[in-house]
Structure 1
């Protein structure tokens, strides 16, 4: 420990030379976050912060460092507590909001609320944006009533009153996570406070379409027009999306009926004086893709180009997905080259179309070749979903060395790991009965501040018992007991009782 602190002091002396400046450079925060991560001791919460003793943390430097620690909630919170102990705490509204989001992401909502109260006490009045950050995380966790109450608490804490845009955000978040009936209930109760707008109606129409209730969406469109609120191209595109994307396209007559309903929406748009845009055509193109009609897709793409409509990345991705899923991988790769030549940069979802097909074919060589191309082209970075697909694939193929290389690459790019990636990796290792590796990543996940899913916990529990690794289980249980203090009441639903024969 003494050697560690001595090394920390040496790094501290080096860091002090640049951390005291008023406008820290980007790499300053990178170096500070690296020091904090390298010296993190899960059994001594302040160990990493002690390495920064004497370093001048400015508000900007603290924010940039917390940004780099967004996937390490425990360490981020420890650093923030350390910052509060300094003579002139470098706390800012931005840092509080970022940390609130970081803690809410791992469902430590009690801590998030404490930070909001603390902001108010420090006269850093929380803004509606601060609450909306928390509201989004509450809704994603299924705590919808708490989210609505939090929205109504904004005016009590914030000097800035809630606006129709803030209300629209609440409804939009509820609808995105499928809580449309509650969104309509909240909308009806607050009609007199927040006057209905085209944006609010579009959000509700989107919500019903997301649930596949197109008739309800059309009812709201009719109500909107009767109120004298003119729908725009976004409103019609949302309805068109609901007509096209939430229906079964097989057998053939259903595909034809969907196309006919889509044309009716197109006619309604034109009769309202609104011309379909590139998104409108993209939705229709997606229908052909879902119906696995590669020739129709290619014909439609050519027709759009002839009319002067430039395909965007969504359109190209939809076509590539259709070609790849139809087994036309060479044509899909040619189209990928074509879109790059046309100046349209592919996104991670574009490459994921290839990775999914390679996973289905168990073609490890082609998947690695495409991943290498993706990295070398540098047109877009792999997403969290990209890594999930690849890790699942190579776990199935029992290529653990490749899995570890991809995992390290993911950490280097800063994409993760997040809860989903840890869950996929641990479950995959459990299926291979690689219990020691599974335990290693399980503990790492907890130390990084992620609360394991109940299914992950139980899968590992059963596996260790069946493998007669009771000693390992007891060590894990001890670790969980220690961490339960950090996770608080959200940890109490887990089965922590020791196994009895």
Structure 2
């Protein structure tokens, strides 16, 4: 086993010794709590260990503290639920509706649908007087139900809104229709709308939801019909309406139709906006039409549109893709500041991805450091994925990688997600660090993040070659359970 590996695994498995850079006393408290959360424990064990801990009992629990903790465990539902139950049990502390919303979303995202539903019912019964179930929470729940194919249950929740002290009105109807359309259930949404429209008045947004839905399922003709229906209600199509259809044409690389529609917008006195042009530039880049994509900023100027952050993010991406690195750096460092357009995490991530793609690891690392120092943008998991990929590709594995992972978890308080775990396990297998990969595999399962079947198969092959039969048995057992479920 290579020298660094044991140390690396222990770094990854210990949640302790955090060096969080916050200004108040909160970080110390957060670190104390995090250090008590054992990876791989059940949520009840986590709850119990916090309940019976001397140090934890002296910590004043605040909404900020709880939201930091939930953010920290956003890909690890057992820890999130355990910590939340503990916070909830402390007397004089009732978590904010926002915290419930975040926890419901974590449970939904990790497909713990029964736990999510029982939490909704619990909030509903315990806080009946405060009406703690917010429309935001219900929306998250409906979205997650639709996401796992339980759309009828989402509709049932909408039907029962009054029991939560919420009303069926245009806002909640639109949220339901939007949820269904985003999961491609446009026809079902349409039926529901036809039942509701006599008692709940639609808004322009209602029709835009359908236009988006029809475009998503590649039925643009239906989207055009919806525009007519919208006009029948006395509403004019907006930039959003047209931009949705433009995006649909872009996806099919029908740019001639795109330019025709731009002209039509001008005629109807509904000129395109910066979002419209960002969409067009993105797709031209995607289809490798770099020259045409780089002509979009001029075209946009001729319509009198000002660039915004998302437009610049796309422009940097386009320049990077077409190999114009210096120009991308110029836009990032000079032009955005000159036009007083702020940079967000994605702006930095686009630069990081570009540098990594060209093997410039120093430059990429500098962007991450700058981001940490600027304070207004914090690196997220996407900031690090290109770096991890690059170092695994160039085989700079040993200490570099463990330091980087240590920094991600400890300094920036990030929790690894499915994508990052997969990337690491695949990359480590390729560079013969499969013991380390196996450590991550077990950590991942402990957090109930389910690896892809392909990842398991790849790791199993490598582990067998190492003649580690116990590990091989463990992986095979896991794969069998995966298949049967």
TM-score (norm 2): 0.80
SS in 2 for 1:314: helix
Return the offset for 1:159. 0.8
Query: In 2, distance between residues paired with 1:324 and 1:224?
Result: 41
Name the CA distance, whole Å, in 2 between partners of 1:269 and 1:193.
Answer: 33
1:321 aligns with 2:297: no
In the TM superposition, what whole-angstrom CA distance separates every residue of 1:381-417 from its partner, at most 9, and x where no partner exists? 3343332232223222222243333333332223432
Q: Report 1 or 2 for greater relative contact order, CA contacts < 8 Å, sequence distance ≥ 6.
A: 2
Residue range with higher mean Cα deviation, 310-319 or 43-52: 43-52
2:78 alignment counterpart? 74
Contact kept, 8 Å, 1:49 with 1:78, in 2: the verdict is: no
Greater CA deviation, 339-348 or 456-465? 456-465
Residue 171 of structure 2 corresponds to residue 165 of structure 1? yes
Secondary structure of the residue aligned to 2:80 is helix
Distance 1:265 1:436, change over 3 A: same
Q: For residue 296 of structure 1, report the CA deviation from its aligned partner.
A: 4.7
| Deviation per residue, 1:140-188 (Å, 9 max, x gap) | 34443433333334333x1121332222223323333444444334434
Structure 2 CA distance for aligned equivalents of residues 477 and 39 of structure 1: 31
Structural mapping, 1:166-315, within 5 Å? 166-243=172-249, 245-248=250-253, 258-259=255-256, 261-286=257-282, 288-290=284-286, 292-302=288-298, 304-305=300-301, 308-315=304-311
What is the alpha-carbon root mean square deviation over aligned residues?
Answer: 3.5
Structure 2 CA distance for aligned equivalents of residues 300 and 217 of structure 1: 26
**Aligned pair in 2 of structure 1 residues 475, 493: CA closer, same or farther (>3 Å)?**
closer
Stretches of structure 2 that go unaligned for 5 or more consecutive residues are: 1-21
Match of 2:153 in 1: 146
CA distance in structure 1 between the partners assigned to 2:185 and 2:112 by the alignment:
22
User: Can you list the C-alpha shifts for 1:40-95, whole angstroms capped at 9, x where unaligned?
Assistant: 23454322342255436556366435434442422232233334554556455444
- Against the structure 1 CA distance between its residues 348 and 92, is the aligned structure 2 distance closer, same or farther, given a 3 Å change threshold? closer
SS at match of 2:482: coil
Instruction: Give, in whole Å, the separation in 2 of the partners of 1:53 and 1:358.
Output: 43
After TM superposition, give the deviation of residue 476 of structure 1 in Å: 6.6
| Cα distance change on mapping 1:232 and 1:308 into 2, 3 Å | closer
Offset of residue 342 of structure 1? 2.0
1:209–1:417: structure 2 CA closer, same or farther, 3 Å change rule?
same
Deviation at 1:440, TM superposition (A): 1.6
Counterpart-to-counterpart distance in 2, 1:26 and 1:163: 44
For residues 213-254 of structure 1, give each alpha carbon's deviation from its aligned partner in whole angstroms, at most 9, with x where no partner exists: 3223212212222333322222222222223x2123xxxxx6
Range with greater deviation from structure 2 (377-386 or 158-167): 377-386
Cα distance change on mapping 1:420 and 1:145 into 2, 3 Å: farther
1:451-471: CA deviation from partner (whole Å, max 9, x where unpaired):
434443444344434533122
Q: Which moved more, 1:49-58 or 1:162-171?
A: 49-58
Cα deviation, 1:408-450, whole Å, max 9, x if unaligned, reads: 3332223432222222222322333422211221222233343
Alignment partner, residue 471 of structure 2 = 472
1:303 & 1:58 partners in 2: Cα distance? 54
Q: Which residue of 2 aligns with 1:425?
A: 424
Q: Is the 8 A contact 1:144 1:174 kept in 2?
A: yes
Task: Answer yes or no: is 1:101 the counterpart of 2:105.
Answer: yes
- Relative to structure 1, the CA distance from residue 186 to residue 312 in structure 2 (aligned partners, 3 Å threshold; closer, same or farther) is same
Structure 1 position 397 matched with structure 2 position 375: no
Separation in 1, partners of 2:61, 2:374 = 37
CA shift at 1:349, angstroms?
3.4
Selected match of 1:118 from 100, 118, 122: 122
Work out which of the residue numbers 129, 136, 148 in structure 2 matches 1:129.
136
C-alpha separation in 2, matches of 1:182 and 1:395: 46
Contact 2:73 2:79 survives alignment (8 Å): no
> Number of residues paired by the alignment?
452
Aligned partners of 1:148, 1:402: CA distance in 2, in Å?
50
Q: Secondary structure at the match of 1:494?
A: helix
| Cα distance, 1:32 vs structure 2 | 3.1
Counterpart CA distance in 2 for 1:187 and 1:377 is: 47
Contact 1:278 1:310 in 2 (8 A): yes
Deviation at residue 202 of structure 1 after TM alignment: 0.5
Question: In the alignment, is the contact (CA less than 8 A) between 1:178 and 1:211 conserved in 2?
Answer: yes
8 Å Cα contact 2:211-2:223 kept in structure 1 = yes
Distance 1:193 1:26 in 2: 52
Paired with 1:275 and 1:304, the residues of 2 have a C-alpha distance of 11
Q: TM-score, normalised by structure 1?
A: 0.78
Q: Which residue of 1 aligns with 2:482?
A: 494
Correspondence 1:439 to 2:438: yes
Q: Give how far 1:199 is off.
A: 0.4
2: CA distance between counterparts of 1:470 and 1:383? 37
